[in-house]
Amino acid sequence: MPSPYTEEHQAFRKTVRQFCEKELFPHVEEWERDETFPRWVFERAGELGIFGAHYPEDVGGAGGDYWFSVAKSEEFPRCGMAGVGMGLLVQGDMATPVINDIGTKEQKEEFLTPAIRGEKIAALGVSEPNAGSDVAGILTWAKRDGDDYIVNGAKTFITNGTRADFVTLLVKTNPEAGAHGCSFFVVPTNLKGFSVAKKLKKLGNHSSDTAELAFEDMRVPKRYLLGEENMGFMYLMQNFQSERIIACTSACSGGALMLENAVAYGRDRKAFGKPIIKREYWQHKFVDLYAKLEAAQALTYKGAEAYNEDKYVRKDNVTMETVKLISLAKIFVGDVMTEIADQCLQFHGGAGYMEEYMISRAWRDQRLFRIGGGTTETMRYYVAKLMGF
């Protein structure tokens, strides 16, 4: 496909790259050790217009198309820690799109605009201790009480969860209706009954904070209901597409960096008398990996193009054909990135197992991709249904 990027896209990309390389990368060791990163990162990203480039001007954005978000996500891996990129992507592409799509003017003013500016931190509350990819199985519920809803339950694996100012929260409002009984709320975290039950320790993505949240008789005013009651599952399926395709674009960029770093290492590292990159086995292996990365990126861009057409050109919901494309991209990208990370670590030998080399962190960080936002197995199940199998 022809390049989707204009001069404006490339200027924006340069801004994001400089932010990542000059302002974030120097803090890799500190933030990975602390298992969080400071609030000023959100504020600075908002100041630079990073969150709002693809949002409408009337909510504080720049009015650009979806390729601004793709360009941004491709640069985040340059900060050297996937956890920071994930926290920022949750802010701009996972917890807030549904507010832009179906939120009232008042909801956008209270939550979306401050999030775009980096003044409020956002989290997305969907997964639960007993319901991950099986979203219809969530148990957190809300009962109507006058002009309020009373919410009880728990959410887990929530990125930005320990310090979010609001949570875009999916709950059951009609437990007997299964998936068709879910509703979305946008919930300030200062409401009585809300609490951070605990901060979770993870295999990778150490620099992002991940939490388990608890709701005990949390009274949520009706004005915080997003869209229509019991339509939350449909809204979520639309919202998931942004989350999945933007994760794919960032993952492909991260895969390219893994290969670039590995090849550079292989030029310097000698074994049995010559650089290991000169070994025919590894030359062929890297050719195959680069071919698979090109295929993964092509499928990802096809999904991004379809999403941009649906949401920014037609200004409508995502079509089922686009959902299928994005799901296929998530499946394929996940498998390819796992192979790239594993082979690049193997190529480094014992050095790859050491914390001082980027590949060890990249190897454990990328493993989340095949789990978060819908497991690879769930994606295959969805695609099979869409194909009528």
Write out the catalytic residue numbers: 243
Strand, helix or coil for residue 4: coil
Q: In the chain, count of helices (H) and strands (E)?
A: 13, 10
Task: Yes or no: say if 259 and 340 are a contact pair by the CB < 8 Å rule.
Answer: yes
Q: Nearest to residue 206, comparing CAs of 253, 246, 159?
A: 159
Question: Using a CB cutoff of 8 Å and minimum separation of 24, what contacts does 264-272 make?
Answer: 265/347, 265/348, 265/351, 265/357, 266/347, 269/351
In one-letter notation, the amino acid at residue 279 is R
DSSP 100-131: HHH--HHHIIIIIHHHHHTSS-EEEE--BTTB
Distance CA 287, CA 272 (A): 22
Rounded to 5 degrees, φ, ψ at 168 are -80, 105
**What kind and span of H or E run contains 213?**
strand 210-221
> Which residue is associated with the tokens 């999945």?
244
For residue 196, the SS3 value is strand
State the DSSP code for 178: G
Rounded distance between C-alpha atoms, residue 25 and residue 15, angstroms: 14
Read off the tokens for 94: 């996972």
Residue 203 and residue 169 in contact, taking contact as beta carbons nearer than 8 Å: no
DSSP letter string, 10-59: HHHHHHHHHIIIIIIGGGHHHHHHHTS--THHHHHHHHTTTTTTTS-GGG
Residue 365, C-beta contacts closer than 8 angstroms, at least 6 positions apart: 81, 82, 83, 204, 205, 254
**Three-point CA angle 239, 368, 49, nearest 5°:** 50
- Termini Cα distance of the chain: 30
SS3 142: strand
> CB neighbours of 8 closer than 8 A, spacing ≥ 6?
64
Check if the beta carbon of residue 143 is closer than 8 Å to that of residue 201.
Answer: no
